[in-house]
């Protein structure tokens, strides 16, 4: 059973912040071999959703307020599941919890994500609709997707 925790940046303790940053580097930089600037000055204004198994973060998403990344949209980013915790439905649980939190806290804004293209069907099954054509982001094919109530 995993515990869902959502915190503002200022509420994260040092160990949580370290674990989040280490996990994001493990998945996006090392595993996906993608060199990019992770510290993009958006963490401080975002919420951080963690699925924890005891005290270990097994899944994570950054919940971004309206207009910080996309005009008139909230967003979900840095969506990941720890490599040791995959194939357990945590990605789906994480995304559903993220959507619900954003809908509950900003009733007027649709949610926009930049999804890795290979996950298009996964996000479509959760209510996201693809927008436009695919593009490269940090050398990885992505597609813009929007979730509306």
Q: In what order do the strands lie in the sheet with 111-116?
A: 3-8, 47-53, 56-64, 74-81, 111-116, 140-147, 128-137
pLDDT tens sequence across 85-98: 999 999 999 999 99
Report the chain's mean pLDDT, rounded to a whole number: 94
What's the pLDDT at 148? 76
Question: How do residues 16-30 score in pLDDT, each as one tens digit?
Answer: 999 999 999 999 999
What three-state secondary structure class fits 127? coil
Q: Is the dihedral of CA 70, 72, 78, 81 positive or negative?
A: negative
- Give the model's pLDDT for residue 109: 86
User: What 3-state DSSP class applies to 88?
Assistant: coil
Q: What is the pLDDT of residues 37-69, one digit of tens each?
A: 899 999 999 999 999 999 999 999 999 999 999
Q: What is the pLDDT of residues 120-144, one digit of tens each?
A: 999 999 999 999 999 999 889 999 9
List the domains of the chain with CATH numbers.
3-147 (3.40.630.30)
What is the structure's pLDDT at 105? 87
Paired tokens of 64: 């971004």
């Amino acid at each position: 059973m995993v515990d869902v925790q959502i915190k503002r940046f200022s509420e994260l303790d040092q160990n949580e912040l370290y674990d989040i940053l280490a996990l994001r580097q493990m998945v996006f930089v090392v595993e996906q071999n993608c060199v990019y600037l992770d510290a993009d000055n958006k963490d401080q204004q975002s919420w951080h959703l963690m699925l924890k198994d005891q005290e270990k973060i097994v899944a994570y998403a950054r919940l971004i307020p309206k207009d910080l990344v996309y005009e008139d949209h909230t967003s979900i980013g840095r969506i990941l599941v720890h490599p040791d915790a995959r194939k357990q439905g945590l990605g789906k649980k994480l995304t559903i919890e993220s959507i619900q939190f954003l809908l509950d806290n900003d009733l007027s804004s649709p949610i926009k994500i930049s999804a890795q293209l290979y996950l298009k069907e996964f996000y479509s099954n959760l209510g996201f609709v693809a927008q436009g054509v695919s593009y490269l982001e940090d050398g990885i094919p992505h597609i813009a997707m929007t979730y509306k109530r």
